[in-house]
């Protein structure tokens, strides 16, 4: 697989693996052996970028990733995150310097490693000056415990403040064909500052695969049950987007998911999507997108086909909007 560069020197595979769903968020956690098998299969197929966080589980996902990559630790990049009180998103944000240092030490142990390659602030903490957050990570970098600093779902002002203290290698934010808000202000800023973008939910939390319909039933622990964009009515309305994607994909003998990922890769050379999956055949499908090169005509055709599709439903319920960083 081809590689891409995030920030000033972090080289990773063009497509990474978001590991969250193996332990958290989309229903019950997978069996440990299966989770390890998925991560190792990704590595065997060229993936060198694995994304986790203390909050995924909490804590279980870091342990899973650490065990899975142990045989080839020095050949991969591990990204993890700090920023929630006690590691639980529902308890609110917490980026106090002391807490950042505590998370770093705990994550190193769970990941069975001596350094964190990319350490993200999971969400901006309005109670802690961004200069203090970036300064604390800078100290960890100087100590050799962290290699690169990242942010997630941060806004323009926060990114500028942080970058002035410690260069930000990557911003992880939602970006896909059904959430294009970053194009307004974030992408121009990242290009200006030389920061990479790591889109999470690049397949619209599974919706852009075409496998989810208005009749799909989610597990009781799947957080999509409370996401307005995944209400049965919204899913029925938003299926128009998938239908257009399916038509485009059929012309190129690809799948909707592959087109959606290839579209992201074509936007900028410093964009590295991290689709997640629990299924080996979906992993194969997703990674196949790296072999698809969309031409200028292809991209214009996609824009034209999707121009009049209006996406229905908010991407977060009201109770979680405070965690979007905006």
Listing DSSP states for 135-154 in one string gives: HHHHHHHHTTSEEEEEEES-
Q: Report residue 61 as tokens.
A: 């996902």
- Tokens 């989309």, residue? 26
pTM over 0.85: yes
Beta-strand relationship, 168-174 and 77-82? unpaired
The pLDDT value recorded for residue 319 is: 75
Catalytic member of 26, 56, 120, 175: 56
Q: Which residues of the chain have pLDDT under 50?
A: 325-326
pLDDT in tens, 71-117: 999 999 999 999 999 999 999 999 999 999 999 999 999 999 999 99
d(CA 4, CA 74): 18
The pLDDT value recorded for residue 75 is: 98
Q: Report residue 5 as tokens.
A: 């560069």
State the architecture of 3-323 in CATH terms: Alpha-Beta Barrel (3.20)
The pLDDT value recorded for residue 322 is: 54
The pLDDT value recorded for residue 318 is: 82
Angle between helices 296-306 and 232-251 (to 10 degrees): 150
The pLDDT value recorded for residue 140 is: 99
d(CA 178, CA 158): 25
Name beta bridge partners: 176.
179
DSSP assignment of 229-291, as one string?
Answer: GGSHHHHHHHHHHHHHHHHHHHHTT--HHHHHHHHHHHH-TTB------S-HHHHHHHHHGGG
d(CA 283, CA 192): 33
Residues with Cβ within 8 Å of residue 133, at least 6 apart in sequence:
95, 97, 100, 121, 125, 162
Active site residue 88: no
**Dihedral over Cα of 82, 86, 90, 92: its sign:** negative
Sequence ranges of the domains in the chain: 3-323
81 three-state secondary structure: strand
| Average pLDDT, rounded, for the chain | 95
The pLDDT value recorded for residue 325 is: 43
305 three-state secondary structure: helix
């Amino acid at each position: 697989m081809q590689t891409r560069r995030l920030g000033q020197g972090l080289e990773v595979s063009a497509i990474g693996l978001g590991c969250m769903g193996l332990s958290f968020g989309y229903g019950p956690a997978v069996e440990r052996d299966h989770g390890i098998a998925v991560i190792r299969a990704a590595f065997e197929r060229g993936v060198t970028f694995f994304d986790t966080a203390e909050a995924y589980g909490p804590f279980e996902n870091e342990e899973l990733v650490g065990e899975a990559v142990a045989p080839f630790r020095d050949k991969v990049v591990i990204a993890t995150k700090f920023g929630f009180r006690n590691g639980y998103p529902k308890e609110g944000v917490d980026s106090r310097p002391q807490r950042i240092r505590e998370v770093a030490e705990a994550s190193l142990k769970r990941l069975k490693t001596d350094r964190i390659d990319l350490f993200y602030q999971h969400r901006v903490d309005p109670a802690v000056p961004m200069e203090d957050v970036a300064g604390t990570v800078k100290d960890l970098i100087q100590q050799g415990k962290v290699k690169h600093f990242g942010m997630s779902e941060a806004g323009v002002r926060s990114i500028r403040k942080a970058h002035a203290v410690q260069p930000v290698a990557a911003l992880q934010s939602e970006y896909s064909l059904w959430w294009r808000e970053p194009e307004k202000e974030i992408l121009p800023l990242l290009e200006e500052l030389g920061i990479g973008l790591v889109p999470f939910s690049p397949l619209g939390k599974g919706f852009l695969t075409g496998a989810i319909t208005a009749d799909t039933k989610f597990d009781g622990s799947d957080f999509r049950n409370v996401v307005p964009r995944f209400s049965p009515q919204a899913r029925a309305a938003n299926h128009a987007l998938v239908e257009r994607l399916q038509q485009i994909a059929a012309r190129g003998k690809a799948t909707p998911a592959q087109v959606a990922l290839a579209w992201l890769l074509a936007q900028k050379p410093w964009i590295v999507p991290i689709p997640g999956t629990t299924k080996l055949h979906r992993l194969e499908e997703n990674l196949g997108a790296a072999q698809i090169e969309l031409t200028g005509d292809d991209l214009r055709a996609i824009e034209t086909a999707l121009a009049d599709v209006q996406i229905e439903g908010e991407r977060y319920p009201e109770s979680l909007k405070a965690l979007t960083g905006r």
